[in-house]
Structure 1
Amino acid sequence: MPIIRRLPVLLLALVCLAGSAPPAAAQNPFSDFFGSIFAPRRARPPEEPRPRPIHRPKPKPAATAPNPAIPGAPGGDVQTVKQAPTFFVAVIGDSQANMLAQGLAEAFAGDHRVAIVNKAKEDTGLVRNDFYDWRAAARTLLDGPQHFDAAVVQIGINDNQKLRLGGEPSPEPLSKPFNEIYAKRAEELAAIFQEKKVPLIWVGQPIMRSESLSNAALVFNDIDRQYAEAQGARYVDLWEAFSDEDSVYRASGPDVNGVIVRLRAADGVHFNKAGARKAAHFVEPEIRKLLEAALQPPETPAGAAPEAPATPAPGVPAMPGGNETTPPAAPEAAAPVAPPPKPIAGKIESLTETAVSPGGALAAPPVGRAQPKAIEAAPAQPGRADDFAWPAR
């Protein structure tokens, strides 16, 4: 029988011998080999748990005395004390002014000195005085208990309609009689703020998607600019800020950070939040100019009496030559004389011209100094470098 066919029989015989062999015989290589294959695996001993880091609590700071500057605040604690605003700006007008007030509030959110007070009313204007009279409302606002340091007005998106004049016929919108009445009302509104000495900033209307509304806004802007500035108001134009280079309406454009975003609402008239912030960006500098002017100390008028000298403290002797409190002024030292300017170039001297005296004679040596003797050159030796004899020697 071939060896290959006998191999299973031999393996079976070896297994039987390994099972019946005594313990001492189980240590042969064959038993070790088959034992490593068929013996059950032993479980690994469990690993010892690793020690966890101990987190010790930080020591509590020692108790400190209360801070006298902030009542009830413990020492060492920093508490932000919100300062009350000192410069109040009223925003009046229609629903467009309402969005502008929100943009101004965001623009001055980091300046605690300025407070934006939104007094705008939706669906209002200068045409329908029977619905809401802004001239009467402005007088009531300025005569009220709240003080305003400046005011901002934006109005006109609801004024492209007929005037209500009682029993008289109503002129057509944008006609000459209509524009004359509208200009008078705008001038009267601006004059109220000038009378109350409240600086006024008049903001024009932006371009709109509707062509008819844009044409009406252009007319109202021209009237407002002319008659509001005549009453001392500052005018802010927003037309180019919300249109492209061809003066065409665009709903999107660069915001205050230069990012192209949508700036107008879906109606093509109002601002959205980003547009209101951009509109406030052009009004903010005018408000800051008024703020800085209000913070400057008042100037002493010409011809006013000088302040009286202060009373000297007890025991302080009077200074001779001066008043009772201040020593006499020390004499001013003479200002040092500036040296003459240096010439650009010095005197030009000739390198070959013989120096002569003014009379034409040769310059004489200084008094007491002997005339230097002429130095005679030694004769040149034949073949030396200074031997120029010809023919060569």
Structure 2
Amino acid sequence: MSGRHSNKTGLRWLLNALIVLSIGLTALLIEPPRQAGAQERRTILDMLFGFGRRRPPPVYDDVPIYEPRQREPQQRPKTRKARQKAKPTPAEPAPVVVEKLPDAKKVLVVGDFVAASLGDGLQTAFETTPGIVIETRANGSSGLVRDDYFNWPESLPAYIAEVKPSVIIVSLGANERQQMSIDGIKEKFRTDAWLAEYTRRVGTFAALARKDKIPLLWVGVPPFQSSSMSADMVTFNGIFRTEAEKVGGNFIDIWDGFVDESGKFVMTGSDINGQQVRLRGSDGINLTKAGKRKLAFYVEKDIRKLLGDAAASGQDVPGADGLKDLVVTAPTANEDIIQTQPISLDDPDLDGGTALLGGAVALTGNGKSPRDKLVEKGEVAAAPTGRVDDFRLAKPETVISNPVIRN
């Protein structure tokens, strides 16, 4: 009986749940349409259980009795990140401007774009030297092959008359890899006729620079990134050296400063202080600021050697006012000097010694070695005492120093 009662109770509970669910679905279906200004439709959970939505405020004549307080969006607190103070980059020291002397010696630099770079490097090298002024007269695309674009044999005498230099520096050759017009005939580059004519023009130009007996420094061409171009520069440097030395000039070889240990072109190398820096531009032809300074380093010492006192820096030589504070000490008196008798190398009796250290008398010999005695007279030299070939029966007592104890 209890089992039947429990079944009836379960059926009643299920029936009641279905009735409640059907009432809710009916109310949902017959809900009137929304009017203007009405709240949006509620779900069945809101209708049955009354949660999930806030009740709207009461309305009087379509105007709310109170306006709900709108909540301002909460702003996130700004977090201030501690900014690290950037270390100020050390400013490059301003170049020291030294006023040049009125009678300063002038150095004339002529040539192509390599000469222009050399002039910039020499300007930096001698910026603190009041006795030397660098005057650069360069044309970047010039050379000795073409005289229709720029004629160096005609321009050089005018530059010499204008500057009145004490030293002339020439750097040409980087633009010469092109055909040459010889007596109206265009000759290709590197033919025998081309090389012969170019050698003649280099010699003529070097003699023109030495016309007034002015010292001439012909600077060689550096290597370039192109291997074929570098090979041609080697040929040019050989011509420059020969022709410059013929007229009494000096050739300055800078090749090793821009190659590695194997003789190959390098973009980065050591500067004048031994630090690794970029020497050449991205095109493998032009020089950077450090490369220009290194190029001038090879020429700087020759200029200082030729100009002598004019190459001295004004900051290193004290003036007349600085010399008056120097203290001059009196020379040492003669009585403070201890004089000794000179010793002759061939006079050992002077120090009272006629024997070697230890008092032993020096052995005298007849000049015959043991080998000579054995070969000539058959005499065998006696073995020293204690040596393995000493076969004497009677041993000196000095030999038997550690007797063997036998049982």
User: What is the TM-score when the length of structure 1 is the normalising length?
Assistant: 0.54
Correspondence for 1:64 = none
Which of residues 342, 346, 350 is equivalent to 2:352? 346
2: distance between equivalents of 1:114 and 1:293?
10
**Conserved in 2, the CA contact under 8 Å of 1:174 and 1:219?**
no
Correspondence for 2:181 = 164
SS of the equivalent of 1:195 reads coil
Alpha carbons of structure 1 residues 257 and 340: separation in structure 2 relative to 1, 3 Å: closer
Alignment of 1:140 with 2:150, yes or no, is: no
More helix by share: 2
2: distance between equivalents of 1:244 and 1:347?
63
2: distance between equivalents of 1:166 and 1:225?
26
Alpha carbons of structure 1 residues 109 and 81: separation in structure 2 relative to 1, 3 Å: closer
2: distance between equivalents of 1:96 and 1:145?
22
Alpha carbons of structure 1 residues 279 and 132: separation in structure 2 relative to 1, 3 Å: same
Alignment of 1:284 with 2:296, yes or no, is: no
Correspondence for 1:116 = 134
1: distance between equivalents of 2:305 and 2:277?
29
1: distance between equivalents of 2:209 and 2:110?
12
Correspondence for 1:236 = 252
1: distance between equivalents of 2:307 and 2:120?
19
Alignment of 1:55-134 (within 5 A): 83-84=101-102, 86-134=104-152
Spell out, residue by residue over 1:340-360, the C-alpha distance to the aligned partner (whole angstroms, 9 max, x if none): 7564342669xxxxxxxxxxx
State the 1:146 CA deviation: 3.0
Alignment of 1:181 with 2:197, yes or no, is: yes
**Conserved in 2, the CA contact under 8 Å of 1:85 and 1:112?**
no
Alignment of 1:1-393 (within 5 A): 83-84=101-102, 86-142=104-160, 144-165=161-182, 167-168=184-185, 170-292=186-308, 341=343, 343-344=347-348, 345-346=351-352
Spell out, residue by residue over 1:273-322, the C-alpha distance to the aligned partner (whole angstroms, 9 max, x if none): 11000000000011011111889xxxxxxxxxxxxxxxxxxxxxxxxxxx
User: What is the TM-score when the length of structure 2 is the normalising length?
Assistant: 0.53
2: distance between equivalents of 1:340 and 1:263?
61
Aligned residues: 227
Alpha carbons of structure 1 residues 165 and 291: separation in structure 2 relative to 1, 3 Å: same
**Conserved in 1, the CA contact under 8 Å of 2:109 and 2:168?**
yes
2: distance between equivalents of 1:225 and 1:280?
18
**Conserved in 2, the CA contact under 8 Å of 1:101 and 1:116?**
yes
**Conserved in 1, the CA contact under 8 Å of 2:107 and 2:133?**
yes
2: distance between equivalents of 1:158 and 1:174?
14
Percent sequence identity is 34
**Conserved in 1, the CA contact under 8 Å of 2:100 and 2:131?**
no
State the 1:192 CA deviation: 1.1
SS of the equivalent of 1:276 reads helix
**Conserved in 1, the CA contact under 8 Å of 2:110 and 2:170?**
yes
Alpha carbons of structure 1 residues 235 and 339: separation in structure 2 relative to 1, 3 Å: same
2: distance between equivalents of 1:341 and 1:259?
54
**Conserved in 2, the CA contact under 8 Å of 1:92 and 1:118?**
yes
SS of the equivalent of 1:119 reads strand
SS of the equivalent of 1:164 reads strand
Correspondence for 2:44 = none
CA RMSD of aligned residues (A): 2.3
SS of the equivalent of 1:245 reads coil
**Conserved in 2, the CA contact under 8 Å of 1:99 and 1:271?**
yes
Alpha carbons of structure 1 residues 112 and 130: separation in structure 2 relative to 1, 3 Å: same
Spell out, residue by residue over 1:252-293, the C-alpha distance to the aligned partner (whole angstroms, 9 max, x if none): 001111110100012211211110000000000110111118
1: distance between equivalents of 2:158 and 2:354?
87
Unaligned runs of 5+ in 1: 1-79, 296-337, 350-393
1: distance between equivalents of 2:342 and 2:176?
75
Alpha carbons of structure 1 residues 256 and 187: separation in structure 2 relative to 1, 3 Å: same
State the 1:110 CA deviation: 0.9
**Conserved in 1, the CA contact under 8 Å of 2:135 and 2:163?**
no
Spell out, residue by residue over 1:333-391, the C-alpha distance to the aligned partner (whole angstroms, 9 max, x if none): xxxxx977564342669xxxxxxxxxxxxxxxxxxxxxxxxxxxxxxxxxxxxxxxxxx
Unaligned runs of 5+ in 2: 1-97, 312-339, 356-407
2: distance between equivalents of 1:94 and 1:257?
27
State the 1:167 CA deviation: 2.4
Alpha carbons of structure 1 residues 285 and 348: separation in structure 2 relative to 1, 3 Å: closer
State the 1:135 CA deviation: 1.2
State the 1:83 CA deviation: 3.1
Alpha carbons of structure 1 residues 341 and 112: separation in structure 2 relative to 1, 3 Å: same
Alpha carbons of structure 1 residues 277 and 81: separation in structure 2 relative to 1, 3 Å: closer
State the 1:82 CA deviation: 5.5
Give the aligned residue type for 1:148: P
1: distance between equivalents of 2:207 and 2:261?
35
State the 1:87 CA deviation: 0.7
State the 1:86 CA deviation: 1.4
1: distance between equivalents of 2:170 and 2:218?
5
